[in-house]
Each structure stands twice: as C-alpha cells, then as structure tokens.
Structure 1
Amino acid sequence: MATTEQQPELSTHNAPALGVRHLMSALLCVTHVLAFSMRGDMSVGVVVMANNTGANPNIKDYGWTPSQTSTILSSFFWGYVVMLSPAGWLADRFGAKNFLSGSLFFSGIVTTLTEVVADAGGIVFVCASRVVLGLCQGFIFPCTHSLLAKWIPPKENAVLGTIVYSGGQMGTVIATVVSGVLAQSAAGWPSIFYTFGGLSIVWGVLVFFFGADSPAKHRYMSPQELSYIEESVKCVSQDEKKLPTPWVSLFTSIPFIALALTHMAQNWGSYTLLTEIPTYFSNVLKLNITANGIVSALPYIVAWAVSLVASWIVNFVQRRQMLSTGALRKVINTFGHWCPAAALLALSVIKVENPAASVALLTVAVGCNGVTIMGFQLNHIDLARNFSGVMMGITTGIATLMSIAAPLYVGAVVKENTLGEWRIVFLTAAGFFFVGNLIFILFASGEVQPWNDPNYSRKKKTDYGATSVKEAA
C-alpha cells in the first residue's frame, strides 16, 4: 500500500506543469462545447424554421405548429437514451478516442444537412435526423469518462474534469446567443446548422489526430509525464486484453445504485431549470424576448464561473488531504443540490412583483448546481476507473429518462401559468435535489470497488498500489 509520504513527491516532481494531459483536456472541453451547441441550436432554429421572423424575409419556413416543434426538440433524446449504455461498453472495451472522434464527425454531418433534410422530407425527416444526432452524441459522455479515467491523475481531476464538463455549460450559452445572432443575419436560420455542424466536423478530425485512448499510445507523450500519469492512476489496467464487464457486481453495488439515483435526481432538477426558465421568465415575469434571452443565459454563465472557482478549492482540499475522497464528494454534492433546493423553495413563495429576486434565486439555483461535476459526476471514476465509461453510460441513460419526463410533468402541471402551478414545479424540483443528495450522502463511496480489479472474478488480487483516490493523491 502506497503512503502519502512515499509516492506523491516523486510523481509531482517529474510531472510537467503543462503536458499532453492538458491537450486531451482541451480537446474534450471543446468537444462538450460543440456537442451542447448542436443540442441547443435547434431550440432557437426551430422557432425561425416554423415561422420566419429573421431579418431576411426570403428565407424559407415550414409553418410548423407548437406541438410539432416540441416533437422535433424531443426527438434528439429518442436516439440519445438508446445509445448511452452500449456506447459506454464499447468505449471501455475497444477504446474511446475513435468513437468520440466519429461521434463529433457524424454529428457535424447530420447537423449541416438540416436544411437539406427539412426541404426533402419536412418534419418527419427533421425528427429522424435529430434521432440520428442523439445516437451519435450518445458516445460523448461515456467516452469522455473513459478517457478521463485513463488520462487525469486523481489529484488533478477536480480542475481538469471541471474544465472538460463545464464545456457543456458554455455550449448551452453559446448555442443560445450565437444561434440568435445567426438567425437574424442575412444568411438566416440555415447558417446556424452550417456553423456548428462544420465546426464539429473539423473538431472530430482534430480529436482523431491529436487524441489517444491512453497516455502510452499518444505520439507526443514524454517519458516523464507518462510515468507520472501511470503512477497516479494505478487502478487502471494497462493490459491490452479486453476486460470483461462485471455486470452482476456492478448492478448489485450499493454505491453504484446510489450514484445512479443521484444522477436521476440531478437530471430532473437541472432539466426542469434548463427547459422551463425561459417560459417562466416570459409568461410569469413578463420579460421581453431580448431580456429573456440574456437573463436565461446568465445562470449558466454563473454556473460555469462557480464550477471553475470551486474546482480550485476542491483541488486545494484534495492535495492537503483534509477530507477523504468520499467525504469530499458528498460535501461538494450537498452544496450543488441542497443550495438549489433552498433557492427553489424560496422561489416558490416569492411574490411575482419582485422579478429581480426571482432571477437572482434562479441564478443561484443553476449556478450552485454546476459544482456537481466534482460531486456525483466524477464519482464513477472513483469507484471503478476500468469501467467508468460503461458506468457513465448506464447512469446517464437512466437519468435521461428524467430529462424527458421533467418537461412533460411541467406541461401537465402548468396550464394557466399561475404562480400556484409554478410553485408545484419548483417544489418538485427542490424535492428531487434534496432526496437525490440524501441518498448520495447515505450510500455513496469514494473508494475503488473490488470489481474494478480485472482478476476479481477469478478471486485473485492485482497490486495497483493505491486503492483510493485519497491514497493515490
């Protein structure tokens, strides 16, 4: 068993301050920016596609009804939820880099063809293309987790992991702002899809040439950095053999079940906020379209900033071993779930005549929720780095069902846009945040699970050195 006095000084001394692991983090961060941009661009684009309100009156539209536009927006998740679990298994078993590159490349092609598809087959073909986009993007999260598990030392995963996943927050903001500008340009709504689709194609090629499945396979990896990463990440198998997935152990693991339930609660709360904030601002607070767009983006800008600042704090705590990994995950996740729950509770009783307070509370809810990247979201890697991709695919797949259900629930509750109806929506989301984190506190773990060991099914033990993130750090 490695001690904290024996290992980290040697590894840190030999580690380059800026290395290939940072290049991989940058590749993954921009991947998430583009992935979320391609998810979000349709939210703006479909409004103009349904009824052209852009600057160029000659740009075509299709006369879609609100019901049809809602179908288009939801169709992405039909493909997405199907592919997540298989994508995680494929990434862990055959390597994540090529799948990630292909996901970006084909997502870009599908996105750039939006205008062609709409002209050729109308809403049916557009929905089909969004299903295909969801299938392609089902690889993003599992592949990212699989790569982070191999590339990022435990003592750096708070900062680098947050940088990578905060790309999703920035992608949401960029899609909202840039799509609005492009829709009002002379090129009109088609330019939205050509822009984000083209960038994704280019980035997919860059990931293929400059990424790698593991540090040992990267053409530019120095011996010093390779030694540093491999010493730090000893619980990842370096064997080229394909590891059998311990399905029974995984699905009977209490920490993994707790993680999946927490992920479900997170998606209910976060997607309630993501999809319904603009409606609440417009129909209840009566903000105009311009103000609505700016104010709707504000919480995600704050979430991005808060998560980056928090990552440095978490990194400081990790390096000084003030808390065990499990305790640290639970503390940060409590902040990320219970602070939003408190803000939503306050929002449910505040008067509509005070819109500034409502905006502030929603900004607090979304902003604080951003730190859950360092809570439950990186916990997959704590439990089993060898199977983090398939674990992320499973929990994200289950949680995506909540992403679909939450807006449908809001639609069933909110009929007249009264404060009482929205109070039910906010209290429900607060309840999910509270219960999900309570489960995480009671049953989650920060320790490497026995079934992470490739020899676990053979009742043997592999000497990985450190058995927890705390010991490895």
Structure 2
Amino acid sequence: MVVSISNAKLVPKCNMSEIQQQFNSIKKQIDLIRSVKGGAGLGIRHLQVVLMCGGITLAFMLRVDMSVGIVVMANNTGSNPDIKDYGWNPTETSTILSSFFWGYITTQVPAGWLSGRYGAKNFLAAALFLSGALTALTELAADLGGVVLMCALRILIGMVQGFIYPSTNTYLAKWIPPEEKGRMGTLVYAGAQLGTIVAMAVSGVLANSAAGWPSIFYTFGGISVLWGILIFFLGADKPSSHKYISKEEQVYIEDSLNKVSHEAERMPTPWISILSSMPFIALAIVHCGQNWGFYTLLTEMPTYFSSVLGFDIQSDGLLSALPYLVMWCLSFIFSWIGHLIERKNWMTTGTIRKVFNSIGHWGPGLALLILSFIELEDPTVAVALLTLTVGLNSGIYLGFQINHIDLSPNFSGVLMGMTNGLAALTSIIAPLIVGAVVKNNAPEEWRTIFLIAAGFYFIGNLIFIIFGKGEVQPWNEPIRLTKENEANYGTAAPPSA
C-alpha cells in the first residue's frame, strides 16, 4: 500500500524554545503580581519585626534597670525608709555595672555563628527567657553575696544577652527585603531607646514606691520571660518555615533576598577574609567608639544627675529617660529622611551610612565638648546638652548599625557578633574609668569623662568615613562545599577555583 503525501498539508513545526520563553515570561508576570501583592500592607514579616523590636526593648530594660536601681541599692533615697540598702561606694557600683559586659563579650562570636548555622529564633527566645529569669534573682543575690554575687549574676545575664544582637541581625537578614532594610532595621534597633526610656522612667517610680527597688527587677524580669515565650511560638527562622505566612508574601521576601544572599548555613565562614577586610575593620572601630560614648552615658547618667545636678531619685529616672525619648523620636525622623534619599537615589548606600553616622557621632561629640567647658550654675543647660548628645546619636541606625547587613547579608550575624563582642570591651572599660576618675563627683572629674567619650565619637567616625563601605563584599559568598564537587573532585571546589 502506497500513501501519497503530495497533497498533504504541512503542519507548522513546534518550537519548544519559544514555548519555554513564553512560559517563563508568564511565570515572571505572575511572580511580579505576587511580589507586589505580598509587599503591600501588613504581613508576617511585620510581626517578626515587632517581636525583634520587643526583644531589643526588653534587652535594654534589663541592662538599664541596674543603672537606676543601683543608686538606691547603694544608698536608699526612696520614699520608703524601711527598704534595705547595701552602702556600696562608687568603685563598687561601677564594678557591678561593668560586670554585665564581662559576660556579654564572651558569647558574641559564638552567638553569631550559631544563629547563622542553626537559625536565630530559638536563640533569641531563650536569651530573653533566661536573662529575665536571672534578673528576677537580683534581690536574692544582693542579700546572699553582696558585691561578689551581684557581679557573678550580672556576668551570667551578660553571657545570655550576648545572643540577642547577633541573633537579631541574622533574623533581620532572613526576613527583611533590602528595600525595607533601613526602615525595618531602624524600628527594630530603636527598641534600645524604647527600653531605655521605659526602664529609666519606670525604675525611678518603682524605686520610690512602697515595694522599693526590688520591684524593678521582678517587673522587668517577668515581662522578659513572657516575651521569650511569645517569640518561641510566633516567630520563625525564615519565611518558608512560618506556618501562617501567605504564599504571596513569602515569594516577595524570598525573591528580594535571593538577589543578594543565599543560605549561609551551606557556606564556610570566611574568617580570614572578614578579619582582613578594611570595611569590616572600620565597622568594628566605629562600633567601639559608639559603645564607649553610649554606655558611659547609659550607665552613669543617673549618678551624674543625682550626685552633681542634685535631682531626687524619681526626677533622676525621668530626666535620665528624656534623652532616650528624644533619640527614639529622632530615629524615625532620620529613618524617613534616609528612605526618601534612598528612594530618590540622591546618595549611594555607603554615603547614606557615613552621613547619618556623622550626625550620630560628631553631633554628640560636639555637644559633650560644650558640656565639658560650661559652668554648671543652671542644671537645665546640662540636661539640654545631654539630651542633645543622646538624641543625635540616633543617626547610627542608618549608619554603622545596619552596615553589617550591607557588607554581608549571609554572615551579618557573625559580623555583628564580632564587632559587638569587641565593642563590649569598651563597655567594660568605660564604667571602670568613671569609677577610677570620679572620686568626689566634682564637675572637673566629670569633664574628663565627657572629653574621653567625645574623643571616641570623633575618632571612630573619622575612620568609618575613610574606610567604610556600603556594598556587599566579595567574601559574602565563599566557595560552597557541595556534594557534586566532592563527588567529582574530592574537594570543596573544582580545581579551577
């Protein structure tokens, strides 16, 4: 049987590559629609930001409560004369205040590595739970062991809290798209000021209440325990592991993050590249300058207001909170301005970081210089200058504070652990220097303290301006160990690497 095909109609040939291109085009349009929808309105990522902000807030409440509480613990000036005190001298109180950082410094780098490798949520939740529980033991420690046991307790609290900042940085890097990084990062880290405001204002009131200073530590410790539980049940290490997130929001976050980062747990940490990187070294130095100035004021301002300016304990707490209220408010103003500059492409990321960090460091440094050389006949002037000093410091949230994620989204937790650990050394030394210099609470003694803090602000920011960067560094993506490379080459990378 012969079949003629002379009159058969030709069927157009099927071009699979064109079909694939059309399919990919349609898929991109669908993903774009999902991304736009996922980026609009409030979502699960905003819940994570609230949880992180609350964590930072409580972390600082548990640090600052001692700055106010120790004034009354050393010498009861509250309204209830029956509340016990311990008669500690300035050297002893400065030692107790600095001991938090003795523990804090030891866990920074391990915390950054562990949160990047195993996820940040559980570490953050556990840190808040345990530090809250330990804080509630303050009265017991002071009664049983005095200065020695108090230092031991604060060291333990510091070790636990060493996990909070590195875990938070890793958490942020997993959840927040780059275009939202400035605003969301500011909101999270502004929790430091919110915690300081609440702790200083409420601590003064609680210390002056019938329950006295012990109520400070029971109150804040209990709240921290509850917040740790909340993070454990409502948080997640990344969008794909949260059971309530919408598909649209997950696509939006993951597509945005995939442009700049990959799964860090699959990569070896490039320790040598990080430690030899000038942008990282500059970041570490400016972080040290920040901690010296910030923690000098944070831990010692209540004593300065009480002993030099003559305010009572309740007024002391409220006045000590005022600068941090201004800092908290300014952080959102600066965040809005920074977001506008970034959206309009008026500056590069690196320039934005340096401009705002200069506001956050050179502004306070100048205010401290002025405070050092004016007469203290009117305490209002001193309060105003200290408020300006702390308020302008909010520029750091668009400066060095978020720069860890700029340099390496994959290893931001490790970077934060390293710089925060190194900076914790200055947090230890600063209160001890105050104890060594300030013997009689004379104005000239405090002038020395303010000049030292101003010097750290000026020098640290200068180095950041010269050597700091705002771009992702090449070591953000080291050669990854894969099964394919192991199978083909018996090594972590092909021979050409």
Deviations 1:20-42 (A, max 9, x none): 11101100111111111111212
Residue matched to 1:257:
281
TM-score by length of 1: 0.89
Compute the displacement of 1:380 (Å): 0.2
CA contact (8 A) 1:260 1:398 kept: yes
Partner of 2:159: 135
User: Which residue of 402, 405, 425 corresponds with 1:381?
Assistant: 405
The one-letter amino acid of 1:424's match is T
2:93 matched to which residue of 1? 69
Deviations 1:330-371 (A, max 9, x none): 111111111112222222232222433332222111100112
**Do the aligned residues in 1 keep the contact of 2:273 with 2:475 (CA within 8 Å)?**
yes
Q: Partner residue of 2:334?
A: 310
The answer to whether residue 182 in structure 2 is matched with residue 158 in structure 1 is yes
Deviation at 1:303, TM superposition (A): 0.4
Partner of 1:425: 449
Q: Which amino acid aligns with 1:165?
A: Y
* Residue of structure 1 in register with 2:396 after alignment: 372
Give the aligned partner of residue 222 of structure 1: 246
CA contact (8 A) 2:287 2:423 kept: yes
Report if the CA contact (8 A) 1:93-1:243 is conserved: no
Distance across 1 between alignment mates of 2:33 and 2:282: 34
Q: Confirm whether residue 190 of structure 1 aligns to residue 214 of structure 2.
A: yes
Matches within 5 A, 1:407-422: 407-422=431-446
Does residue 451 in structure 1 map to residue 451 in structure 2? Answer: no
* Shift in alpha-carbon separation, 1:255–1:30, aligned structure 2, 3 A: same
Q: Which moved more, 1:27-36 or 1:177-186?
A: 177-186
Measure the CA separation in 1 of the matches of 2:139 and 2:268: 43
1:450 Cα deviation from its structure 2 partner: 1.1
What is the rounded CA distance, in whole Å, between the counterparts of 2:84 and 2:302 in structure 1?
Answer: 26
Displacement of 1:376 after TM fit? 0.2
Match of residue 25, structure 1, among 49, 54, 66: 49
1:343 aligns with 2:380: no
Q: Deviations over 1:291-324 (max 9, x none)?
A: 4332222111100000111111111112222211
Mapped pair 1:92 → 2:111 = no
Query: Does the Cα contact within 8 Å between 1:150 and 1:236 map onto a contact in 2?
Result: no
Which string of whole-angstrom CA distances, capped at 9 and with x for unpartnered residues, describes residues 157-188 of structure 1? 22111111111111112112212222232333
The Cα offsets for residues 80-135 of structure 1, whole Å up to 9 and x where unpaired, read as 11111111111111111111111011112111222333444444333222111111
What 5-or-longer segments of structure 2 have no aligned partner?
1-28, 482-491
Distance across 2 between alignment mates of 1:141 and 1:435: 24
Matched, 1:200 2:229: no
Q: Distance in 2 between matches of 1:394 and 1:366?
A: 25
Which SS does the other structure have where 1:364 is aligned?
helix
Q: Distance in 2 between matches of 1:118 and 1:286?
A: 27
Contact 2:37–2:249 at 8 Å: present in 1 too?
Answer: no
| 2: CA distance, partners of 1:289 / 1:201 | 27
Cα distance per residue 1:410-461 (max 9 Å; x no partner): 343444545444333323222221111111111111111111114279678x
Q: Tell me if the contact between 1:284 and 1:352 (Cα under 8 Å) persists in the aligned partners.
A: no
Does residue 1:247 correspond to 2:271, yes or no?
Answer: yes
5+ unaligned residues in a row in structure 1: which ranges? 1-5, 461-473
Offset at residue 54 of structure 1 (A): 4.0
With 365-374 and 265-274 compared, the bigger mean Cα shift is at 265-274
TM-score, structure 2 length as denominator? 0.85
Residue of structure 2 in register with 1:326 after alignment: 350
Distance 2:71 2:302 in 1: 14
Q: Following the alignment from structure 2 to structure 1, what is the Cα–Cα distance between the partners of residues 441 and 206?
A: 31
Distance 1:133 1:429 in 2: 26
What's the CA shift string for 1:256-280, capped at 9, x where partnerless? 0010011111111222222333344
Q: Secondary structure at the match of 2:212?
A: coil
> Across the two proteins, how many residue pairs are aligned to each other?
455
1:404 aligns to 2:455 (yes or no): no
Distance 1:121 1:273 in 2: 28
- The answer as to whether partners of 1:118 and 1:126 remain within 8 angstroms in 2 is yes
Q: Distance in 1 between matches of 2:277 and 2:225?
A: 39
Match of 1:463 in 2: none
The answer on whether the counterparts of 2:437 and 2:445 sit within 8 Å (CA) in structure 1 is yes
Q: After the TM superposition, which of the residue ranges 389-398 and 53-62 deviates more from structure 2?
A: 53-62
Cα contact 2:34–2:251 (8 A) shared by 1: no
The CA distance in 1 between the partners of 2:381 and 2:398, in whole Å, is: 28
Asked whether the equivalents of residues 237 and 454 of structure 1 are also in contact (C-alpha less than 8 Å), the reply is no
2:68·2:204 contact (CA, 8 Å) conserved in 1? yes
| CA distance in 1 between partners of 2:338 and 2:164 (Å) | 25
Q: 1:430 to 1:59 in 2, by over 3 A?
A: closer
In the aligned structure 1, how far is the partner of 2:67 from the partner of 2:193? 15
Q: Is the 8 A contact 1:149 1:236 kept in 2?
A: no
- The amino acid that maps onto 2:216 is I
Alignment partners' CA distance in 2, 1:424 and 1:126:
28
Conservation of the 8 A alpha-carbon contact between 2:202 and 2:317: no
Question: What secondary structure is seen at the aligned counterpart in 2 of 1:386?
Answer: coil
Q: Which has the larger radius of gyration?
A: 2
SS at match of 2:452: helix
Alignment-derived partner of residue 37 in structure 1: 61
For residue 244 of structure 2, give the secondary structure of its aligned residue in structure 1. coil
- Give the letter for the 2:297 counterpart: L
The one-letter code matched in structure 1 to 2:111 is A
| Alpha-carbon distance in 1 for matches of 2:311, 2:416 | 38
- The two structures, once aligned, show a CA RMSD in angstroms of 2.5
Change (3 A) 1:222 1:40: same
Cα 1:93–1:235 change in 2 (3 A) is: farther
Deviations along 1:366-424, whole A, 9 cap, x unmatched?
10011201100100000001111111011011111111222333343444545444333
Conserved 8 A contact 1:300-1:367:
yes
CA distance in 2, matches of 1:329, 1:231: 25
Give secondary structure in 2 for the equivalent of 1:259: helix
